[in-house]
Amino acid sequence: MNQSNCKGSMSTASSSTNWKANDVVPDQFPAGLRVLVVDDDPTCLVILEKMLRTCLYEVTKCNRAEVALSMLRENKNGFDIVISDVHMPDMDGFKLLEHIGLEMDLPVIMMSADDGKQVVMKGVTHGACDYLIKPVRIEALKNIWQHVVRKKKNEWKDLEQSGSVEEGDRQQKLSEDVDYSSSANEGNWKNSKKRKDEEEETEDRDDTSTLKKPRVVWSVELHQQFVAAVNQLGIDKAVPKKILELMNVPGLTRENVASHLQKYRLYLRRLSGVSQHQGMNNSFMSPQDATFGAMSSLNGLDLQTLSVTGQLPAQSLATLQAAGLGRSTTKSGIPMPLVDQRNLFSFENPKLRFGEGQQQQMSSNKPMNLLHGIPTTMEPKQLASLHQSAQSIGSMNMQVNTHGGQGSSLLMQMAQPQSRGQILNESTSSHVPRLPSSIGQPIMTNGIAGGVIGRNGIGDNSRGTGYNQVPPSSSMLSFPMNHTTELAGNSFPLGSTPGISNVTSKGSFQEEGNSEMKGSAGFVQSYDIFNDLHQHQHQHKSHDWELQNVGLHFDASQNANPIQGNLDVSPSVLVHQGYSSSQRSGQNRNASAVGRAMFSGVECVEQGNMQNFSPHLNNLLVDNSVRVKAETIPDTNCQTTLFTEHFGQDDLMSALLKQQGGIGTAETDFDLDGYSMDNIPV
């Protein structure tokens, strides 16, 4: 799991946060592990409870998913792991999985008497960290603690990586993130150990970072307010400023809203995109209906935006939205709705779109940012093509793709270093679905919305969980993000972020100039956020992160998507870059901007502070970008290099960028430092 800690500095920097299971795990671990088991069958529930008690775990049983969710929400740190049945009358187990992933970023184990490949696959793609076939034997339960440890480890790794990049701010941010994530997930035993170890350091950092970057926590209530405001305005007219006014929440900035909106859109896109992309990704993704569903909705959102911007035809928007809303587990089979659709999630042919779109995208650079912020490392061309084809459903995706064209650049941006890392890590479990939920878009019929909000509120670290998009295959990525395949599963049309390509094309992210932002802006297109992004490029540390995330996703995206192919490379690179870029404020910015763009949902793009960057979005973006890149960017030479964690960010970024099509050294701009997920400047 551990991604190699390529940087020595990282280890130092993250020493405090370097929580190794062996080191910090209390002696009695795994005894005392706090398990929440959810199953509507009372017989099974009782048996499981007894088995878990026999394993010396602390068990809470629950026979309704809703109750379980509220229990989890009320007591965010009250549980270490969740075991849930797949078939439940009040809520689908996968939906619950998504919610948990988005909101709490806890490891979730699915169970079912059904052992069909499709169902198991679905579990994997939704980010479940394990799948047990009933009848469950006690032996199977004895080792569930490994998932908790693994997750923690990944989170820490991410933090470390992000933190190591820069000292000072980064570290602070890291610590913040660490705290943040740990607060979200930490179980008591974990807390005691980890906290104590890092307490001093983190505390210090916390103070500083807190002062510097106030985080906006998108709680469930806040998110609901947000969603209500968006709906009231109409998705196409939902601009951050107005949303902010409608929400009327003191202390909330337009930047916060903007970045959150981005994520939300990504989520919607994802919902709608799911249904569309069948071929895109690979069979792997197919089972992800649910995930995609979310995307569709996301797409829907984007569509609106796009349509408004003229990119998406009105009907596409409607379609997307409908698709998004209907997110239902249609087997869109396309894990990456985004990818395909360059132009929009053309449900029918995601794959094609992507390729085409990309090309188009490139030219258009901007509009396509369907995937706002989705780090589609699509090459500019791809973006362009995406753009064209989009009509968008995938507008959201498209955007991302376009941006993604540049791929690297976007990714970079996306890579909000810390937050993303988390996302990536977190996403391992299942993230894709989370993303949508984070958006909380009302469209999300899945009811994830609620979850989403919660998710956002969790903060950086937890963000990651939501998005499983980041493929765990961190091999490529230097990040220890063991994001599960979810990323792969997410048919995030990363490539589809034409916007991204735009961004990358900007080339050197280094330039903080708006040019890059524009690229990302392409994503957003109608987003004010992007505009803001431009302005706030400097702050986008998240970009780096995003890239990182992206990178992560890519790696994970083993899926065949051709587009993804490129992405795969990028992600790692990006990710890496993301971190390294943080060093360079200038470039980071750009990168971040791009990255942001990539993540349509990723607010980070906007402002560099996409702290509230819902992990989901990141994942989305990441995925997308990853995907996109992977395939379409043939010239990404960096691919090989990308993976090397040891790449300095600059190198990575440049590599990525170059791959993307001369994106340039955006990497340097990744303003990772100090850019904590939480600080997404909204």
Residues of this chain that interact with another protein (CB under 8 A) are 40-44, 46-47, 50-51, 54, 85, 87, 112-114, 134-138
Select 142 or 212, whichever has its Cβ closest to another protein.
142
Select 137 or 196, whichever has its Cβ closest to another protein.
137
Question: Six-digit token pair at 121?
Answer: 């696959």
Nearest Cα neighbor of 221 from 248, 189, 239 is 248
Question: Six-digit token pair at 436?
Answer: 């949508």
Select 23 or 115, whichever has its Cβ closest to another protein.
115
- Cα dihedral sign for 305, 308, 309, 312? positive
In the bound complex, what is the minimum distance in angstroms from residue 620's beta carbon to another protein? 32
- Cα dihedral sign for 630, 613, 605, 499? positive
In the bound complex, what is the minimum distance in angstroms from residue 269's beta carbon to another protein? 31
Please confirm whether the linkage preceding 634 is cis (ω < 30° from 0).
Answer: no
Amino acid, res. 65: A
In the bound complex, what is the minimum distance in angstroms from residue 65's beta carbon to another protein? 15
Select 114 or 207, whichever has its Cβ closest to another protein.
114
In the bound complex, what is the minimum distance in angstroms from residue 324's beta carbon to another protein? 25
Nearest Cα neighbor of 2 from 190, 150, 181 is 150
CA–CA dist 634, 631 (Å, integer): 7
Convert 487-509 to b/e letters by CB count within 10 Å (16 or more is b).
Answer: bbbbbbbbbbbbbbbbbbbbbbb
In the bound complex, what is the minimum distance in angstroms from residue 489's beta carbon to another protein? 24
CA–CA dist 594, 445 (Å, integer): 30
Select 85 or 460, whichever has its Cβ closest to another protein.
85
CA–CA dist 319, 317 (Å, integer): 5
Select 26 or 42, whichever has its Cβ closest to another protein.
42
In the bound complex, what is the minimum distance in angstroms from residue 325's beta carbon to another protein? 22
In the bound complex, what is the minimum distance in angstroms from residue 48's beta carbon to another protein? 9
Select 49 or 206, whichever has its Cβ closest to another protein.
49
Nearest Cα neighbor of 439 from 426, 428, 448, 430 is 448
In the bound complex, what is the minimum distance in angstroms from residue 331's beta carbon to another protein? 16
Q: Which residues contact 209 (CB under 8 A, 6 or more apart)?
A: 169, 172, 173, 175, 176, 674, 676
Query: Residue 632, CB half-sphere, CA atoms under 13 Å: how many?
Result: 52
CA–CA dist 323, 160 (Å, integer): 39
In the bound complex, what is the minimum distance in angstroms from residue 79's beta carbon to another protein? 22
Query: Residue 341, CB half-sphere, CA atoms under 13 Å: how many?
Result: 53
In the bound complex, what is the minimum distance in angstroms from residue 110's beta carbon to another protein? 13
Select 136 or 591, whichever has its Cβ closest to another protein.
136
Select 289 or 669, whichever has its Cβ closest to another protein.
289
What backbone phi and psi angles, to 5 degrees, belong to 60?
-125, 125
Q: Is 443:538 a contact under the CB 8 Å cutoff?
A: no
Select 91 or 414, whichever has its Cβ closest to another protein.
91
